């Protein structure tokens, strides 16, 4: 019988986090030049990428975990308010409440899956053990080499993903806070983004993406956003209507629209929905023939510095489902289509 391992988890978490922060800093240092504006941009980007390494998608869940002060049964993403409105009050030290969901906000649940994300092994606890829906230990997850070892000693490649759940356990996807009315599916025209948040399906409340506190979006609407993958790895930002936003952490609604960092492009012949950096084809000569311009853009598509990735189809279809009215043309939310002349 496998027993819970104790004592080393915190040290491992510190080491892993330190490594992640170092790697993320070097990966994003282009945003950090010391000026106040870019320093804020840098911090936001680092938070976004770090958070998204633990954010994932799923079409079903088998149980809700609590951890931290809730006895390894689930993480209350929305902390109870202490009366100051800061959402940082004492959360207590008891076990799970009711079914383990936060009755006043959001809950986060970390699952261990197969490396491709298609099979779910169980729910992760702070000491690295993995439990099933009955809280029975079925294995151990190692975040040093991303492997899952079951109770029989069999080891396989694995991954972790964090789900955001509302008061009734519905899985929520990150949405963009944007202008009203909400976008009409199939018409992915560019829209301004003022914040990011989660909308509870149970209560209709909106919670910000930074610390999951309730967010007042009076006068604004929300639209679905979509994840991006590059070489199979989830990227930090989100797609909204023809544009890509790298930084998606926000605690409040911005007075001015947030800046997009990429454009969404659909490649007709390749049948690929990609994200390209802003002004990605600015050096294509408009005086060249159409075939030469097309060839130049195809060459830029293969440039890893300009191609930021592709839409995450699993995330896209998990939100759109089989509802044809919600689908985008070519399953790509963009008005920019590149086709061979």
pLDDT digits (tens, 9 = 90+) for 226-236: 999 998 888 99
Q: Do residues 157 and 260 share a domain?
A: no
Give tens-digit pLDDT for 249-264: 999 999 999 999 999 9
Give tens-digit pLDDT for 234-245: 899 999 999 999
| pLDDT value, residue 310 | 97
Q: Phi-psi category of 201—alpha, beta or left, where left has phi over 0 and alpha has psi -120 to 50?
A: alpha
- Rounded Cα distance between 286 and 146, Å, is 48
| pLDDT value, residue 42 | 52
* Structure-token pair, residue 276: 């390209």
Q: Do residues 123 and 184 share a domain?
A: no
CB atoms closer than 10 angstroms to residue 208? 23
Does the pLDDT value for residue 109 go beyond 80?
yes
Q: Do residues 16 and 127 share a domain?
A: yes
Question: Burial, 200: exposed, middle or buried (Cβ in 10 Å; 0-12, 13-18, 19+)?
Answer: buried
**Per the domain annotation, does 51 fall within a domain?**
no
Give tens-digit pLDDT for 64-76: 333 222 223 456 6
pLDDT tier at 293 (50, 70, 90 boundaries)? very high
Q: Are 237 and 28 in contact (CB under 8 A)?
A: no
Does the pLDDT value for residue 86 go beyond 80?
no
pTM exceeds 0.75: no
Average pLDDT, stretch 286-309? 97
CB burial string 252-265: b at 16+ within 10 A, e below? ebeeeebebbbbbb
Q: What is the 3-class SS of the chain, one letter each residue?
A: CCCCCCCCHHHHHHHHHHHHHHHHHHHHHHHCCCCHHHHHHHHHHHHHHHHHCCCCCCCCCCCCCECHHHCCEEEECCCCCCCCCCCCCCCCCCCCCCCCCCCCCCEEEEEEEECCCCCEEEEECCCCEEECCCCCEEEEEECCCCEEEECCCCEEEEEEEEEEECCCCCEECCEEEECCCCCCCCCCCCCCEEEEEEECCCCCCEEECCCCCECCCCCCEEEECECEEECCEECCCEEECCEEECCCCCCCCCCCCCCCCEEEEEECCCCEEEEEECCCCCCCCCCCCHHHHHHHHHHHHCCCCCEEEEECHHHHHHHHCCCHHHCCHHHCCCCCEECCC
| pLDDT value, residue 33 | 47
Does the pLDDT value for residue 58 go beyond 60?
no
Distance of CA 73 to the CA centre of its chain: 22
Average pLDDT, stretch 34-41? 48
Considering only CA atoms, which of 248, 286, 283, 245 is closest in space to residue 263? 245
Q: Please state the length of the chain.
A: 341
Q: Do residues 186 and 155 share a domain?
A: no
Q: Do residues 13 and 107 share a domain?
A: yes
**Per the domain annotation, does 201 fall within a domain?**
no
Percent of the chain at pLDDT exceeding 90:
55
Average pLDDT, stretch 43-61? 43
Lowest-confidence region among 159-168, 172-181, 250-259, 271-280: 159-168
Does the pLDDT value for residue 25 go beyond 80?
no
**Per the domain annotation, does 170 fall within a domain?**
no
Report which of residues 314 and 93 the model is more confident about. 314
Percent of the chain at pLDDT exceeding 70:
70
Q: Do residues 154 and 229 share a domain?
A: no
Domain boundary among 96, 130, 165: 165
Question: In terms of residue numbers, what domain contains 72?
Answer: 9-31+58-165
Q: Do residues 225 and 312 share a domain?
A: yes
Mean pLDDT, the chain, whole residue set? 78
**Per the domain annotation, does 333 fall within a domain?**
yes
| pLDDT value, residue 98 | 38
* Structure-token pair, residue 288: 């060249």
Q: Are 151 and 157 in contact (CB under 8 A)?
A: no
**Per the domain annotation, does 99 fall within a domain?**
yes
Question: Burial, 49: exposed, middle or buried (Cβ in 10 Å; 0-12, 13-18, 19+)?
Answer: buried
Q: Do residues 24 and 159 share a domain?
A: yes
Q: Do residues 22 and 131 share a domain?
A: yes
Q: Do residues 272 and 295 share a domain?
A: yes
Lowest-confidence region among 19-28, 167-176, 227-236, 239-248: 19-28
Q: Do residues 299 and 263 share a domain?
A: yes
pLDDT tier at 311 (50, 70, 90 boundaries)? very high
| pLDDT value, residue 99 | 52
Q: Do residues 158 and 17 share a domain?
A: yes
Report which of residues 286 and 322 the model is more confident about. 286
Give tens-digit pLDDT for 138-162: 999 999 999 999 999 999 999 888 8
Number of domains in the chain: 2
* Structure-token pair, residue 138: 């079925």
Q: Give 39's Cβ-side CA count (13 Å radius).
A: 3
**Per the domain annotation, does 138 fall within a domain?**
yes
Does the pLDDT value for residue 37 go beyond 60?
no
**Per the domain annotation, does 246 fall within a domain?**
yes
């Amino acid at each position: 019988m496998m027993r819970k391992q104790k004592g080393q988890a915190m040290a491992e978490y510190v080491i892993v986090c330190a490594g992640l922060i170092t790697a993320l800093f070097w990966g994003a240092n282009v945003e950090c030049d010391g000026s106040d504006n870019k320093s804020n941009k840098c911090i936001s980007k680092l938070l976004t990428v770090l958070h998204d390494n633990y954010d994932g998608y799923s079409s079903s869940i088998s149980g809700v975990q609590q951890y931290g002060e809730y006895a390894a049964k689930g993480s209350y993403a929305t902390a109870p308010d202490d009366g100051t409105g800061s959402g940082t009050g004492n959360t207590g030290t008891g076990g799970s409440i009711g079914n383990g969901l936060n009755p006043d906000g959001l809950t986060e649940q970390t699952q261990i899956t197969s490396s491709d994300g298609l099979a779910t092994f169980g729910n992760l606890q702070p000491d690295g053990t993995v439990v099933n829906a009955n809280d029975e230990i079925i294995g151990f997850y190692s975040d040093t080499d991303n492997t899952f070892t079951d109770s029989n000693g069999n080891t396989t490649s694995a991954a972790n993903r964090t789900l955001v759940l509302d008061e009734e356990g519905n899985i929520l996807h990150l949405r963009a806070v944007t202008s009203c009315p909400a976008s009409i599916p199939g018409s992915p025209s560019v829209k301004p983004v003022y914040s990011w948040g989660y909308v509870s399906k149970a209560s209709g409340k909106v919670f910000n993406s930074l610390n999951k506190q309730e967010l007042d979006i009076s006068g604004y609407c929300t639209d679905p956003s979509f994840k991006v993958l590059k070489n199979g790895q989830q990227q930090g930002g989100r797609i909204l209507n023809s544009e890509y936003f790298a930084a998606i952490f926000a605690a409040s609604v911005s007075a001015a629209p947030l800046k997009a960092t990429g454009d969404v492009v659909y490649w007709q012949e390749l049948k690929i929905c990609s994200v390209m950096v802003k002004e990605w084809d600015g050096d294509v000569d408009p005086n060249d023939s159409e075939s030469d311009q097309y060839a130049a853009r195809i060459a830029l598509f293969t440039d890893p510095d300009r191609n930021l990735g592709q839409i995450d189809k699993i995330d896209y279809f998990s939100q759109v489902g089989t509802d044809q009215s919600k689908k985008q043309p070519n399953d790509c939310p963009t008005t920019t289509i590149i086709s061979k002349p």
